[in-house]
Chain A
Amino acid sequence: AAGVIQSPRHLIKEKRETATLKCYPIPRHDTVYWYQQGPGQDPQFLISFYEKMQSDKGSIPDRFSAQQFSDYHSELNMSSLELGDSALYFCASSQNTYNEQFFGPGTRLTVL
């Protein structure tokens, strides 16, 4: 069965650089979620989109922005990167807002 696709899988950036993470949801899923998981931590909700509109917002820094496109893929843009942004970033998708969320393999971001 098709799963959530994330790219890139690994990303290394310097402080103050920018990064773009991409997420391709499971076909026919209309809702995308972004989570951040620091080392040894639980996933923390960042933001979500339903039908290309932002539907909920969590603890996402102002330096981060995201959007969902007409083909339902989503991109998380991160600017002025800080060392503390180093983490695993997961995208999840669901069919309708309150259904089960299926997670992608994650993007490991390392900020040096």
Chain B
Amino acid sequence: EDQVTQSPEALRLQEGESSSLNCSYTVSGLRGLFWYRQDPGKGPEFLFTLYSAGEEKEKERLKATLTKKESFLHITAPKPEDSATYLCAVQPLTQGGSEKLVFGKGTKLTVNP
């Protein structure tokens, strides 16, 4: 069964304190791995797509990396406005095709000023 596990569940950082969020996954085949940011009561906001091991993508203070079994979201010098829940999702590679995203439970990040 396709499964996504994110750690830690919650993370508190001081402004400027860099850290990483982990997303480990188990799928029979991976079409893509996605990172989203979600604010309370709002829809997930797309951040990155990673397709193959070794791939890296960056956007402002965020950098996502991918290995064969996990992905990391590195946050460099975070600011209070980076506070949100970060969701990792995989799109399994299945016979006949499947578009669904399988989400992890997210990491709730709080950045204190």
Contact = CB atoms under 8 A, between A and B. Distances in A.
Interface of A: 4, 31, 33, 35, 41-45, 48, 50, 55-56, 58, 88, 90, 92, 94, 97-98, 100-106, 108
Given A42-B87, A42-B106, A101 B101 contact: yes
A45 B98 CA distance: 11
A33 B106 contact: no
A48 B103 contact: no
Given A35-B101, A92-B43, A98-B31, 11 more contacts: A31-B99, A33-B99, A42-B104, A42-B105, A43-B44, A43-B101, A45-B100, A56-B98, A97-B99, A104-B43, A106-B43
Interface of B: 31-32, 34, 36, 41-46, 49, 87, 91, 97-106
Nearest to A33: B99
Given A98-B31, A98-B32, A100-B34, A42 B103 contact: yes
Contacts of A31: 99
A100 B49 contact: yes
A79 B104 CA distance: 29
Contacts of A43: 44, 87, 101, 103
B61 to A, nearest CB: 20
Nearest to B32: A98
Q: Which 4 A-B pairs have the closest CB atoms?
A: A103-B43, A45-B100, A42-B103, A103-B44
A45 B103 CA distance: 9
Contacts of A56: 97-100
Contacts of B105: 41-42
Contacts of A58: 100
A100 B46 contact: yes
Contacts of B45: 103
Contacts of A33: 99-101
A111 B18 CA distance: 42
